[in-house]
Structure 1
Amino acid sequence: MRIRIIGAAALALAATGAVLASTPQAQAATAIPAHVFAPYFEAYNGDSLNGLSQQSGDKYLTMAFIQTASAGSCTVYWNGDTGMPIAGSTFGSDIAAIRARGGDVIPSFGGYAADNGGTEIADSCTDVNQIAAQFEKVITTYDVTRIDLDVEDNSLTNTAGIDRRNKAIKLVEDWAAANGRTIQFVYTLPTTTAGLADSGLAVLRNAVANNARVDIVNQMTFDYYDNQPHQMAADTKSASNGLHAQLQQLYPAKTGQQLWSMIGVTEMIGIDDFGAAETFTVADANAVATWATQQGIAELSFWALQRDNGGCPGTGGSDSCSGIAQGTWEFSHIFAPFTSGGGTPASPTPTRSTSASPSPTKSTSPSPSTGAGLTNGNFESGALAPWTGSLCSVVSTPVHGGTKALKAAASSADNAQCAQTVAVQANRTYTLTAWVQGSYAFLGATTAAGDTSTWTAGGSTWTKLTVTVNTGSSTSIKVWLHGWYGTGTIYADDVTLT
């Protein structure tokens, strides 16, 4: 099966500044969320990692790719460019800035160019200990908790390389355990519409034989090259159902839900390398986002962040645009709510409420909502407090009811989060609601376990958002509303927590 062709150009971007941790004792403050949207960032074309993270609003990014400079080498670089070493001077300040905003990165080894050219680390290096050392160097230099291994093309038939890679994974997992680290390994593999081909399964069988723990199997649900008609969202589901059955054979002790939590999906947004017959649309994205949340899969991604725009209608397989008519960052906005932390199920992907008519009246009292300590949820006090947010204010129009509402004026650099901390009871489920107006309005809450949220693409009428929040061990939570980077102002009113 022919598979995607990506990652061939040399890196042009070298961030300078902060040097990240480089000792085995260091540890990233927060593990990657249990359910995460982390699109691939093409780290070879001169774009700003932190800049595109801010512009798109994507907090988690998978960075492609790391490989050796030449076949036979045991030293890795970003895109195999010796001028881009694994060091804090390369991408360090960008990663630090992303973490400061609550996100993180996932370095990815391999990719088609490396797998095709013999520069994937386990194909290139014949010393298992040195392969493990290169993994450890990336982990300690950037203080990451997850590594992606993109294995395709010739790497799928290099049985010696497969065995070396899995032996090295086992060594790194033992090293991490001995040093109090958390590290996860993801295998990104091509798929058929019915599950992995036998070459991909062989990679996983060898991992089991070597006692190498594989945390996530991430399918590339595109570039099928089978000359068949495709409905890409349906194909994603059928491929994942097939993978689930395959994982059940490999890991018989795991429950069905545990197996779903091992599955990842990477789409190629728009027209893929095969051509128009394999086109992943905005409608497909909405369907996959809903399904991924319902199934509780581990990871949702797409190739690639720089393609998330409609700049080249009709063009297939471009590195810089999707080839379809779409809004800039539209796929990012659809997939973003999938991310949730602490192992709790992600919030259902929201749909536009059909009940958009405003209620005619509301209480002018700023009393707390029933059952929780949320105050000034109707903003009738005329003041923002206890809500906070530098781009947040109280306005007189538009309103959902009464005479006041909340305004969140998102900019190109800030999504304008308006929040307040609310006292709650531990181990209880609350319902958070708000009426919102404007494009890309988000409603959510942060507990000790992570974020739970919902959103709507919205428009000029009022839409009701509702999200269920389980407090777990938390006795206080942060309730928040915000817009989205570069999409303008949103308004909110009649916020309740019951």
Structure 2
Amino acid sequence: MRRPRSARALLATLATVAASAGLVIGTGTGAQAATPLPAHVFAPYFEAYSSDSPADLAQKSGAKYLTMAFVQSDAKGSCTPYWNGRTGQPISSSVFGADIATIRSRGGDVIPSFGGYAADNGGTEIADSCTSVDSIAAAYEKVITTYDLSRLDMDIEDNSLTDKAGIDRRNQAIKKVQDWAAAGGRSVQISYTLPTTTNGLASSGLAVLQSANTYGAKVDVVNIMTFDYYDGATHNMANDTQSAATGLYGQLASLYPSKTPAQLWGTIGVTEMPGIDDYGAAETFTTADATAVYDWAVAKGINTLSFWALQRDNGGCPGTGGSDTCSGIAQDPWYFSHTFEPFTGGGGPVSDDFSVAVAPGSASVAPGGSTTATVSTAVTSGDAKTVALTATGAPAGVTASLSPSSVTAGGSARLTVSASASAAPGTYPLTITGSAGALAHSTTFTLTVSGPGGGGTLVNGGFESGSLAPWTCESGGAVVSSPTHGGSYAVKTAPTSSQTGECTQTLTLKPNTAYTLSGWVQGDYAYLGVRGSASASTWTSSAGWARLTVPFTTGASGTVTVYLHGWYGQSAVYGDDFSVA
């Protein structure tokens, strides 16, 4: 992981980003669908914290698409997004709205990026700052509807790469936004901008994408910052861009095994830093490097080509590294912009493509019961195609059907899932796939079959489904891969000064019957108990895993709620391997 980019850290909100663009000034109530970005797009960063006009620099440089850096909260703990964290720059059409309208009138567009080094370092990246998943999703939706966007970027680096709770909240919020967008027929892409080694993502960056998979958040573009390696070596920056992207390709192939090579390369973005980067002369991206990277990017068919930042694309400070206003090398003004501009539109006409989403993303049914959800599709590029829909992964005794079984992209279908009386209790991921010719996109619906009435079965007690369902947790609660007592996953509660971080699951047991709730816990003031037709609990404080047991006897209804929580203002509590017998 790179050290801080000192030049940018002085400016209050900086870093890197990647993405592309998609806007038309919205009204804030936004049901209209923004125009999708080209399949291949050049979108350099615009330093939105400067006094420059994005429309003016776009016209001068010839860059039709811009990545706008950055959106963040004004203070740690806040859930309100602002441009550059400045309360005087709210998310409003009065801020950058006229510039964006002008850029669009010239056939271009913009994409806001959340985060950036300063926000990631200081805790004002919105998902690090805000502990409510719903509020984070609302912030994303506000930016989307205010500017009628077709892509958001998440710039995750420095402390944000190690904030596991923030990473998980962010991906949960992205999933909510994607479901919301699909239900409204809106196409919204998500890109992640991440630091890289010369051989692909470090483990911290890869963990961000793995979390997205866990929570069902679709990542459309993984953009790597191919500069500021800080490894003490002298670099050929063009060669290292290619080796870093090739390493990323292999990582994405493992994460998304159903994608074709063309689709994998089409998920990759690269962001350069023209001239001398923050590390110094050993990391200098030259004009010759720009030509080599452009030719390589076209040949591979990557999604996004970018650089930090538009204001640097001039030779006004020879020998200076890491400046926000010049490249530090001898160059003509706008040389890098002019070199990369033809990349937009890349491999011919925009291909027809679509997305698939399901809402709600999970449900619980008892044996003999059924549930429904809405499967939505949206056009993400080109023209609407006929999409065939299938549901797979249903266990024995469970059926899943779609009506209609095919739609025109932009349409929706009803998913009906029914569990027979003999269906085994458990949590099962069902895969909903949309196919159109050689294209196929999938999403996951998590079904929980609860224990038969009176059976006393607690579902997903070991969290090995990788998701919470059918548990529900207060804000910040999540499934984690470490620490665990058994298997691969456990649950983490998130106590704060205003909540205990409680996680719960409701069961219908035999009336007037004795049971014992048991489970393993770790942390200070870990409470395990039941309420409802029975009331009993116990607690412990333990630095390692400790087993708790709670005997109880149900009342006339037999319905109880099992709970785990910590205590106000205390540290996180972990739980695993719960059962009721």
Q: TM-score, normalised by structure 2?
A: 0.57
Deviations 1:203-224 (A, max 9, x none): 0000011110000000000000
- Tell me by how many angstroms 1:26 deviates: 2.2
Match of 1:2 in 2: 2
Deviations 1:163-204 (A, max 9, x none): 000000000000000011000000000000000000000000
- Tell me by how many angstroms 1:2 deviates: 2.1
Which secondary structure state, in structure 1, belongs to the residue aligned with residue 306 of structure 2?
Answer: strand
Match of 2:197 in 1: 192
Q: Percent identity, please.
A: 68
Greater length-normalized contact order (CA 8 Å, ≥ 6 residues apart): 1
Change (3 A) 1:180 1:343: farther
Structure 1 Cα separation of the partners of residues 172 and 10 of structure 2: 27
Match of 1:470 in 2: none
Q: Indicate whether 1:304 and 2:316 are aligned.
A: no
- Tell me by how many angstroms 1:45 deviates: 1.3
Change (3 A) 1:200 1:343: farther
Q: Indicate whether 1:76 and 2:78 are aligned.
A: no
Structure 1 Cα separation of the partners of residues 196 and 97 of structure 2: 33
Q: Indicate whether 1:23 and 2:64 are aligned.
A: no
Q: Indicate whether 1:117 and 2:122 are aligned.
A: yes
- Would you say the 8 A contact 1:7–1:44 is kept in 2? no
Match of 2:151 in 1: 146
- Tell me by how many angstroms 1:43 deviates: 0.4
Which secondary structure state, in structure 1, belongs to the residue aligned with residue 33 of structure 2?
Answer: coil
Q: Indicate whether 1:220 and 2:225 are aligned.
A: yes
Deviations 1:206-258 (A, max 9, x none): 00111100000000000000001210000000000000000011001111111
Which consecutive residues of structure 2, in runs of 5 or more, have no partner in the other structure? 14-23, 352-581
Match of 1:381 in 2: none
Residues 289-438 of structure 1: matches in 2 within 5 Å? 289-340=294-345, 344=349
Change (3 A) 1:137 1:345: closer
Structure 2 Cα separation of the partners of residues 75 and 7 of structure 1: 22
Match of 2:280 in 1: 275
Count the aligned residue pairs: 339
- Would you say the 8 A contact 1:147–1:184 is kept in 2? yes
Alignment equivalent of 1:230, drawn from 226, 235, 251: 235
Structure 2 Cα separation of the partners of residues 316 and 339 of structure 1: 28
Alignment equivalent of 1:239, drawn from 224, 237, 244: 244
Structure 2 Cα separation of the partners of residues 86 and 4 of structure 1: 27
Alignment equivalent of 2:254, drawn from 240, 245, 249: 249
Highest CA radius of gyration, 1 or 2? 2
- Would you say the 8 A contact 1:7–1:64 is kept in 2? no
Match of 2:90 in 1: 85
Q: Which amino acid aligns with 1:25?
A: A
Which secondary structure state, in structure 2, belongs to the residue aligned with residue 326 of structure 1?
Answer: coil
Hey, which bits of structure 1, 4+ residues long, moved more than 6 A?
Answer: none
Of residues 1-10 and 190-199 in structure 1, the stretch that sits farther from structure 2 once superposed is 1-10
- Would you say the 8 A contact 1:19–1:89 is kept in 2? no
Match of 2:362 in 1: none
Q: Which amino acid aligns with 1:211?
A: G
Deviations 1:461-494 (A, max 9, x none): xxxxxxxxxxxxxxxxxxxxxxxxxxxxxxxxxx
Q: Which amino acid aligns with 1:23?
A: T
Which secondary structure state, in structure 1, belongs to the residue aligned with residue 190 of structure 2?
Answer: strand
Q: Which amino acid aligns with 1:21?
A: T
Structure 2 Cα separation of the partners of residues 169 and 342 of structure 1: 29
Which consecutive residues of structure 1, in runs of 5 or more, have no partner in the other structure? 12-17, 347-498
Structure 2 Cα separation of the partners of residues 40 and 205 of structure 1: 26
- Tell me by how many angstroms 1:281 deviates: 0.3
* CA RMSD, Structure 1 to Structure 2 (Å): 1.6
Match of 2:188 in 1: 183
- Would you say the 8 A contact 1:67–1:79 is kept in 2? yes
- Would you say the 8 A contact 2:301–2:346 is kept in 1? no
Structure 1 Cα separation of the partners of residues 191 and 321 of structure 2: 27
Q: Which protein has the bigger strand share?
A: 2
Change (3 A) 1:251 1:19: closer
- Tell me by how many angstroms 1:21 deviates: 2.5
Match of 1:36 in 2: 41
Q: TM-score, normalised by structure 1?
A: 0.66
Alignment equivalent of 1:95, drawn from 95, 100, 103: 100
Match of 2:170 in 1: 165
Structure 2 Cα separation of the partners of residues 50 and 4 of structure 1: 30
Q: Which amino acid aligns with 1:242?
A: G
Q: Indicate whether 1:65 and 2:78 are aligned.
A: no
- Would you say the 8 A contact 1:3–1:190 is kept in 2? no
Which secondary structure state, in structure 2, belongs to the residue aligned with residue 213 of structure 1?
Answer: coil
